[in-house]
C-alpha cells in the first residue's frame, strides 16, 4: 500500500510538472507569435519618406494600440488602396520588442473601413485640396515650390506649403475625437506641417455627406503637454511665454522645411534632432527653474532666428 501511495504521489508530481511545462511552452509560443488585433487606423505618424520605421495607431475593442512597422513593406502589400487610408480596418499580428514596443509581424485588410472615421478624413483631405487648387496650387511634391504659402482655411490662415509638398496623401491627419454621431474632430498633426496646429470639425449633414464645418488653431506648444516628462517640457507647459516661444520656433522650423528641396529638408531634420538633443540635455541639467527658463529662452530664440534666416 505504501508503495502504491508513493507511486501515486510521484505520478501526481510528474503530471503537475508536465502541466507547468506545457503552460510555459504556450506562453513562450504566444510571446514569439505575438497577438492578433483588429481595429481602425486612427493615425499614422510615418512622415513623407517611403523608408524607415512608421508608427500606426489602431482603435481596437480594448483601446488604442500603437504599432511600429517597416514602411514600404506594408502599404505595398495591399491590393485595395483604401487599406492605406485613415479609418481602414486592419487585422494585425504583433510581437513585443525587447524595448517593449509592439512590432508588426503581419497585416491583413480587405478594404473595409470605419465609415465615420474614413468619411470625416476624406472630407478634410478634399477640403484642403479644393482650397489649394482654388488658389492656384497643386497638391503633391514640387521641388521648385518655396513657402510660405498662407491660405485662408475656414476661420484661420495657415502656411500650407509643407502640407502640399509632404503631407498631401492626407495620412498626416489623425482621428482625434468623435463628438457625437454626426460630429468628428480631425487633427492636423506635426506631419502635416501646419503651424500652429489645426483642428478640423467635420459634420455629417442630413444627406450623410461629411463636410468641414470649422477650422481652429490649437493653442499649445509644439508637443503634447499631457505627455510632458522632462523638466524642460514641464516648465514650458506651465508658462505661456515659453509655450509661445516653443511654438514660434516650431513654426519657423516647419516654414524653413517648406522652402527646401527634399534632400535639404532631410538634412535639416537631422540637424534639428542633434540641436534638440543638445538643447534638452543642457536645459534639463540646470539646477533651478529660473536658470532653466533662461536656458530655454536662449535656445529657442536663437534657433527661431536661424530658421527664419533660411526663409529669407
Domain count for the chain: 4
pLDDT score of 8: 55
pLDDT for 227-259, tens place per residue?
Answer: 888 999 999 988 878 988 898 898 788 778 878
Residue 194 or residue 110, greater confidence: 110
| Alpha helices (runs of H) in the chain, residue ranges in sequence order | 2-33, 115-134, 161-162, 231-237, 240-258, 262-285, 289-310
* Residues 279 and 297 placed together within one structural domain of the fold: yes
pLDDT score of 303: 95
* Residues 39 and 80 placed together within one structural domain of the fold: yes
* Residues 236 and 274 placed together within one structural domain of the fold: yes
* Residues 168 and 261 placed together within one structural domain of the fold: no
Region 76-80 average pLDDT = 75
Mean pLDDT rounded to a whole number for the chain: 84
Distance CA 213, CA 103 (A): 37
Distance CA 175, CA 194 (A): 16
Q: What is the pTM of this model?
A: 0.66
* Residues 203 and 267 placed together within one structural domain of the fold: no
pLDDT score of 20: 62
To 10 degrees, the CA torsion angle through 130, 132, 133, 136? 160
* Residues 184 and 153 placed together within one structural domain of the fold: yes
* Residues 213 and 150 placed together within one structural domain of the fold: yes
pLDDT band of 175, cuts 50, 70, 90: very high
pLDDT score of 80: 87
CATH number for 237: 1.20.1270
* Residues 296 and 276 placed together within one structural domain of the fold: yes
Instruction: Tell me which residue range forms the domain holding 251.
Output: 225-310
CATH number for 101: 2.40.50.140
Sign of the Cα torsion 210, 216, 220, 221 reads positive
pLDDT band of 10, cuts 50, 70, 90: low
Region 106-129 average pLDDT = 95
Q: Are 311 and 256 in contact (CB under 8 A)?
A: yes
* Residues 5 and 94 placed together within one structural domain of the fold: no
pLDDT for 178-191, tens place per residue?
Answer: 999 899 999 986 67
* Residues 29 and 40 placed together within one structural domain of the fold: no
- pLDDT for 109 beyond 70: yes
pLDDT score of 211: 97
* Residues 259 and 170 placed together within one structural domain of the fold: no
pLDDT for 254-275, tens place per residue?
Answer: 778 878 887 888 889 899 999 9
Among candidate residues 81, 108, 135, the one where a domain is terminated? 108
H or E segment to which residue 153 belongs? strand 150-153
* Residues 192 and 166 placed together within one structural domain of the fold: yes
Region 49-73 average pLDDT = 78
Q: Which of 113-122, 134-143, 183-192 has the lowest mean pLDDT?
A: 183-192
Amino acid at each position: 500500500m505504501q508503495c502504491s501511495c508513493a507511486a501515486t504521489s510521484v505520478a501526481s508530481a510528474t503530471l503537475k510538472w508536465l502541466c507547468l511545462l506545457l503552460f510555459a511552452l504556450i506562453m513562450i509560443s504566444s510571446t514569439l507569435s505575438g497577438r492578433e488585433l483588429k481595429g481602425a487606423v486612427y493615425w499614422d505618424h510615418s512622415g513623407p519618406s517611403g523608408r524607415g520605421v512608421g508608427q500606426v495607431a489602431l482603435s481596437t475593442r480594448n483601446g488604442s494600440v500603437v504599432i511600429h512597422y517597416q514602411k514600404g513593406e506594408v502599404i505595398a502589400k495591399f491590393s485595395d488602396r483604401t487599406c492605406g487610408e485613415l479609418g481602414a480596418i486592419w487585422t494585425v499580428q504583433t510581437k513585443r520588442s525587447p524595448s517593449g514596443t509592439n512590432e508588426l509581424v503581419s497585416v491583413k485588410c480587405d478594404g473595409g473601413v470605419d465609415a465615420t472615421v474614413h468619411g470625416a478624413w476624406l472630407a478634410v483631405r478634399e477640403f484642403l485640396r479644393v482650397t489649394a487648387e482654388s488658389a492656384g496650387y497643386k497638391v503633391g511634391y514640387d521641388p521648385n515650390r518655396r513657402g510660405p504659402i498662407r491660405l485662408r482655411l475656414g476661420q484661420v490662415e495657415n502656411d500650407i506649403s509643407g502640407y502640399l509638398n509632404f503631407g498631401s496623401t492626407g495620412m498626416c491627419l489623425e482621428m482625434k475625437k468623435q463628438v457625437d454621431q454626426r460630429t468628428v474632430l480631425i487633427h492636423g498633426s506635426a506631419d502635416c506641417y501646419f503651424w500652429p496646429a489645426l483642428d478640423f470639425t467635420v459634420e455629417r449633414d442630413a444627406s450623410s455627406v461629411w463636410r468641414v464645418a470649422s477650422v481652429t488653431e490649437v493653442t499649445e506648444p509644439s508637443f503634447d503637454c499631457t505627455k510632458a516628462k522632462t523638466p524642460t517640457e514641464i516648465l514650458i507647459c506651465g508658462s505661456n511665454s515659453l509655450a509661445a516661444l516653443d511654438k514660434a520656433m516650431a513654426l519657423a522650423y516647419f516654414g524653413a522645411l517648406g522652402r527646401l528641396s527634399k534632400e535639404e529638408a532631410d538634412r535639416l531634420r537631422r540637424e534639428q534632432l542633434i540641436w534638440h538633443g543638445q538643447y534638452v540635455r543642457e536645459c534639463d541639467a540646470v539646477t533651478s527653474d529660473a536658470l532653466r527658463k533662461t536656458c530655454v529662452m536662449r535656445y529657442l530664440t536663437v534657433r527661431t532666428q536661424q530658421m527664419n534666416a533660411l526663409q529669407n
